Amino acid sequence: MWVIKLGGSLLGAPELAHWLELLVKFGDGKVVIVPGGGLFANSVREAQQISNASDEVAHQLALLAMDQFGILLASMNPSLVTASSELELAERGWQHRGIVWLPSKMALADTSIPQNWQVTSDSLSAWLANKLDAEQLILVKSKSLITYQKEAPSKLQHLVDDELIDSQFVNFSADKSFQTWALNKADYSIFEQGFSVQKLQEKGLQLNNIIS
């Protein structure tokens, strides 16, 4: 199983359609898309400021924002289906479908997940990867990764400061069995012949050594 997080910043980018097409073509029920929050989560931030709502309430709304982006992603390719529970994820896998995870139901049921803005879709992707015993976790980013690939950062805080990952990501991904990677949105092209660990190793920024 692979878990691939598509950031909300990809909305409106031409690369997004290519990612969805490849995930449908080669996913075969073995790849789960985790949606970011994007503009939907930004609306939650704005609403919290206006209403002075608690972080707990904002966390719930942010999860629903991810659901919204997930529903939108599924609507962009008719071969994609959504899943909001472990049973639905398993069923979609058995059906060999392209799967978009809607996180609110499962994430809200786990009271160990901190209810604050430090936990974003990055951390929730790692949470799901652990839940599904995934082999690979990929975070697809709009930000260029060239600098990091030329000179790999030695400390997690560098990635947090640059907003490449959230500050809680290490707590959800350290000492786990899955490999963790970051790719740029344009890197969909490496999977045009199918999802391959070799291609990941050639192009991806591996995060395991940094967060361990």
For 22-34, how does the pLDDT look when each residue is reduced to its tens digit (9 = 90+)? 999 999 999 999 9
Q: For 7-61, how does the pLDDT look when each residue is reduced to its tens digit (9 = 90+)?
A: 999 999 999 999 999 999 999 999 999 999 999 999 999 999 999 999 999 999 9
Q: Is the pLDDT of residue 154 over 60?
A: no
Q: Please, are residues 121 and 10 in contact by the beta-carbon 8 Å criterion?
A: no
Q: Which long-range contacts (C-beta less than 8 Å, at least 24 apart) are formed by 155-158?
A: 155/210, 156/210, 156/211
pLDDT value of residue 145: 83
Residue 92's domain comprises 2-211
pLDDT value of residue 7: 93
Q: What is the mean pLDDT of residues 75-92?
A: 97
Indicate the average pLDDT of the chain.
92
Task: Sheet with 80-83: list strands edge to edge.
Answer: 80-83, 98-101, 31-35, 2-6, 136-141, 179-184, 205-206
Which is higher by pLDDT, 161 or 110? Answer: 110
Output the CA–CA distances (angstroms, integers) from residue 103 to 95, 135, 165, in the order listed.
20, 20, 18
pLDDT value of residue 186: 96
pTM for this predicted structure: 0.94
Number of H helices, E strands in the chain: 11, 7
CATH label of the domain that carries residue 139: 3.40.1160.10
pLDDT value of residue 210: 67
| pLDDT-based confidence at residue 152 (cuts at 50, 70, 90) | low
Helices 38-51 + 55-76 axis angle, to 10: 150
Output the CA–CA distances (angstroms, integers) from residue 22 to 30, 116, 191, in the order listed.
13, 33, 7
Q: What is the mean pLDDT of residues 75-80?
A: 96
For 96, the token pair is 């060999």
Q: What is the mean pLDDT of residues 130-135?
A: 95
| pLDDT-based confidence at residue 155 (cuts at 50, 70, 90) | low
Domain tally for the chain? 1
